[in-house]
Structures are given as C-alpha cells and as structure tokens.
Structure 1
C-alpha cells in the first residue's frame, strides 16, 4: 500500500463517521460535510490504487 491509499481510506472513514453523527444529531450540514469528506477519501484512495497498479505493471 502506498501513502495515497492509506490516507484516502482514513479520510473516507472519518467522513463516514462524520456523516453518521450528522444523521444521529439531525445536522444536515454535518451530514453533507461528512459525505464530501467520504467521497474525497474514496477519490484519493482510488488514485493510490491506480498508482499502485501502474507501479506493479512496470
């Protein structure tokens, strides 16, 4: 695993947690913030996955 994969998955988990807290507290802004953070984490992890895959093929 590379840094982008690890960091992306951590950010994704934080976003999921923030989104869940927003649902529990009925806080729409916290839900949206968590959703955005979750998706940014997925994007970064996906970039890391792609980078690792390219490295493995070369």
Structure 2
C-alpha cells in the first residue's frame, strides 16, 4: 500500500490509524481525511517527532497494511 492508496481507502483505514497512533484525537483523524501531509503533521504534533520520523513511521505502517492485505 502506498500513500496514494491511503486516501482511497480512508474509510476502511481510519480506525487502524487511531489504533496505531493512539495519541491522535478523533478530530485529528477526521481532519486528515486521508491527506498524507496532514496526517504526517498530526503525528508530528502529537508525538513530537521530526517530519522525517513521522514520514518513516507512516511509510512503515502503510507497508505493514499492504503486507496484511496481500496475505
């Protein structure tokens, strides 16, 4: 799964996003609406990560989701 897929599958994935990043509020998740840049910003804000850290985390998580869907 890549970043482009996130927006297309947002309704299915937003609960998993909340599970993965529990510090994100419901409002954070709703505001992101699958927008990768906004989601990265929210992860940065809530977890105090650098942009690069937040991007790596999101990319790793998306890869895990892709692997889960493939099996």
When the two structures are superposed, what TM-score results if normalisation uses the length of structure 2?
A: 0.38
Bigger share in helix: 1
Higher relative contact order (CA 8 A, sep 6+): 1
When the two structures are superposed, what TM-score results if normalisation uses the length of structure 1?
A: 0.45
Bigger Rg, structure 1 or 2: 1
